[in-house]
Amino acid sequence: MNLYLLAAIEWAIMLAAIIILYPIIGFMGLLGLFLAFVGFELHLIWHRIDRERKQEKKKLQ
């Protein structure tokens, strides 16, 4: 799938989620949800970097 199409779909879904959730949880709830997702994404990035380093280490052995 084209990365730009995937990004457009992702942004549309995030916008829909914000529109649906804002009346329920308010601005501070959205901020907390945003920070939780950012933390989760950083966690996934850490795992990817760790996996790549382990693969490089195996190649060097």
Distance of CA 39 to the CA centre of its chain: 8
Q: What are phi and psi of 2, to 5 degrees?
A: -60, 135
Beta strand spans in 1-61 (E): none
- Which pLDDT score is estimated for 6? 84
Which pLDDT tens digit goes with each residue over 7-47?
A: 889 889 989 999 999 999 999 999 999 999 999 999 999 99
Q: How many whole angstroms separate alpha carbon 25 and alpha carbon 50?
A: 35
Give the model's confidence band at 48: pLDDT under 50 very low, under 70 low, under 90 confident, else very high. very high
More confident residue, 1 or 59: 59
Position 1 pLDDT exceeds 80 = no
Predicted structure pTM score: 0.67
- Three-state DSSP at 1 gives coil
Looking at the structure of the chain, the number of domains it has is: 1
Range of the domain at 35: 1-60
